[in-house]
Structure 1
Amino acid sequence: MTVPPFISRLPLIQAPMAGVQDWRLAAAVCNAGALGSLPAGMLAPAQLAEQLDQLQQATPRPYNVNFFCHTIPAAIPDRERDWAELLAPYYREVGADPATIPTGASRKPFDEDSASVIEQFRPAVVSFHYGLPAPELLDRIKATGASILSSATTIDEALWLQQHGADAVIAQGLEAGGHRGHFLSDDLTLQQGTFSLLPQIAEAVSVPVIAAGGIATPSGVRAALTLGATAVQIGTAYLLAPEATTRSVHREWLASARARHTALTTLFSGRPARGMVNRLMEELGYFPAQTPDFPLAGNANGPLRAAAEAAGNGDFSPLWAGQFAAACRSAPATEITRWLATGCSGPN
């Protein structure tokens, strides 16, 4: 298969990680020869433009901008009240003020304002989570010349993405940190591990396939390329880099034995996402029935997490990480990228 235009010099992509990075990590990875990514799902248009301006000043190389494609749910007051009541004892414990719980959606889907920013900056790659935007919006992005990537967690999703205009498919295995990218079905029994999903998607589609999920070492990169990946997307391995904005509590947990235990949960956003197991997950369960729909569940979690983290407590935080979080290195992003790149050719 011909090397696609979104591959810079190395078949490595830094996964976009909302909440733990900004343009600095993306620029460092780009300058190391891989494809850096900027998460835009939690940025207003003006914030996104500012981030992209900084990124373009910091690197002349291609980069990726990532967006969500979810539908914002209508608020259900009774459900949000029940959710706040479930968290109330923890609020009292850490001294958080329930009056500070925000309203509205903290994560916005790709829209016309997002498209206008992309048309202004014209990144080489635009990627999506939870499917693809409406055809008219996707056409606007394609008109800029950007390559379109999106996450698939099943073969059916990969085929759908290919049919609806994706230039490449990210095969997101169950081991991946952060939010699952599923969009055709909420049935988690359909989800597969990376090295099971990857070769099946590679056989099913004719577009390039990018492996993602639980890959954090050169040997993992090598294995993914051997199984048919055109490139490998890696996120968790960068969480301890100084260029990341990973919070201190999150860094402490990643550097400890607690990084060995991760699980999927809807507790922190309303949608299944993988993070290190903490007290809130253990005491309330991983999928409590009271959780509001994505992304509204995060509203009541915000003040609780902030108050706890101020005291050095990560028991109420979304500590996103993949299943191989124990492989995280506290090193500059350039060094991490070059280390991972040793898996792009012969054995170590």
Structure 2
Amino acid sequence: MDRMFATRFCEVFSVKLPIVQAGMAGGITSPELVAAVSEAGGLGTLAGAYVKPDALRQSIREVKQLTKKPFGVNLLLFEETVPSEVSGDLVDWLNKMRDEVGLSPWNGELPQSKEDLDECFAVIVEEQVPVFSCAFQSPGKYGRAAKQAGMKLIGMATTLEEARMLQAENVDAIVAQGGEAGGHRGTFQPGNEGDGACIGTMPLVSLVADSLPDMPIIAAGGIMDGRGLLAALSLGADAAQLGTRFLVCRESLAHPAYQEMLLHAKETDTRVTRAFSGRPARGLNNRLIESAQMEKLQALPYPVQNALTREIRAAAARLNKPEYMSLWAGQGVAMLRQTQGAAEIINDIMDQANAAWERMIQLRRGR
């Protein structure tokens, strides 16, 4: 019955199933994970953010060795921002967090925050990746170059205005990211504080699908199984993007302590914070987030704040201290129950979608 779920997204991106695996940055999406999703009929996505160009090239080639099916590479696009000063409160907080994971005090030098965007994008073009996706802003010059190179292009929106901006840039599909989604909010202009645009997945997908009827829409945020996929399609989406569901799969490179926290999380355990990166992002609440909240911390802009907390997160990972790690997760995290292979997850999602569809038929018949 999988053919019943073939949508225009499947046609445009030459995949069997309307499922996208999110490109989760931070050393999580292994080539094996991406390839397994694509082989199972979905669209696997390799995270290109925070990766050096040579390492990205190697990972792309590994994916290609494992599958001949379409896959994508995702980049986080941003304008470089250099803060004029760092507040004393932020310095004190950083040093307190550093001390708690055994690091010496910060030397006061702002880190070089360049993320090799141009170089990484050049690798994506040179390696002829089938799909390029991006978040944080319109694709701009990267999108134009991707289209010229024959790639399919996906952008992420958190509001209808952002979706219309992406449509104007000739993207092939739009991820409508609801407020339930884990990880960074894709909001183009998040400002200096607050959660960024956090419209729920249901109203956002419905609004964007109704307003842009000719554009394939990918629903994201809180979707964990086949029931969520069916719900997204019923709202007008053409596919669903899942990230949290794949964090504890066997091919995931997420830290074991991170995975353990995910498997024991409750539905009330996530919150949006800027403490780690300077941009609003949803993850499991922990010591670092709570301390930033208590101190009423004014984080520096992305990616400077992200660079300043990198050593803290790395030290915490070495010490198996998840209380100081960025534990990105969506509001569906409590639905995680077990470790599976990525292909098993795809198969389960489709089995659940078919079962949910059958249930709807029975309800219509009054049984």
Say whether the fold is shared (TM-score over 0.5).
Answer: yes
TM alignment of 1:181-260, pairs within 5 A: 181-184=186-189, 186=191, 188=195, 190-205=197-212, 206-258=214-266, 260=268
| Highest RCO, 1 vs 2 (Cα 8 Å, sep ≥ 6) | 1
5+ long unaligned stretches in structure 1? none
- Give the CA deviation at 1:291: 1.2
Aligned to 2:180: 175
CA contact (8 A) 1:260 1:324 kept: no
- The 5 A counterparts of 1:19-98 are 19=26, 20-79=28-87, 82-98=89-105
With over 3 angstroms needed to count, the CA separation of the structure-2 counterparts of 1:2 and 1:337, relative to structure 1, is closer
Partner of 2:154: 149
8 Å CA contact retained: 1:157, 1:184: no
Q: Deviations over 1:48-67 (max 9, x none)?
A: 11111111011110001111
**What secondary structure, in the 3-state scheme, does the structure 2 residue paired with 1:312 have?**
coil
Amino-acid identity (%): 33
CA distance in structure 2 between the partners assigned to 1:343 and 1:194 by the alignment:
20
Q: Tell me whether 1:335 sits opposite 2:344 in the alignment.
A: yes
Whether contact under 8 Å (1:84, 1:300) holds in the other structure is no
What secondary structure sits across from 1:315 in the alignment? helix
Conserved in 1, the CA contact under 8 Å of 2:187 and 2:196?
no
Residue 139 of structure 2 aligns with an amino acid whose one-letter code is P
Q: CA deviation at 1:98?
A: 3.4
Distance in 1 (CA, whole Å) between partners of 2:233 and 2:265 is 29
What displacement does 1:302 show? Answer: 2.2
TM-score (norm 1): 0.91
State the one-letter code of the partner of 1:162.
Q
- Answer yes or no: is the 8 Å Cα contact 2:139–2:169 preserved in 1: no
In the alignment, the residues of structure 2 paired with residue 49 and residue 260 of structure 1 have an alpha-carbon distance, to the nearest angstrom, of 39
**Is there any run of 5+ residues in structure 2 with no aligned partner, and where?**
1-6, 360-367
- Kindly provide the CA deviation profile for residues 65-114 of structure 1, in whole angstroms up to 9, marking residues without a partner as x: 111111121143434x6523212223223312335888222645x42x33
Q: Tell me, yes or no, if the aligned pair for 1:25 and 1:333 is still in contact at 8 Å.
A: yes
Q: Which residue of 2 aligns with 1:14?
A: 21
> Could you tell me how far 1:184 is from its partner in structure 2?
4.3
Aligned in 2, Cα 1:264/1:7: closer, same or farther, shift over 3 Å?
Answer: farther
- Pair 189,39 (structure 1): closer, same or farther in 2 beyond 3 Å: closer
Give deviations 1:305-330, integer Å, cap 9, x for gaps: 23333333211111000001112231
1:302 matched to 2:310: yes
Task: Give the AA of the match of 2:333.
Answer: A
Number of aligned positions between the proteins: 344
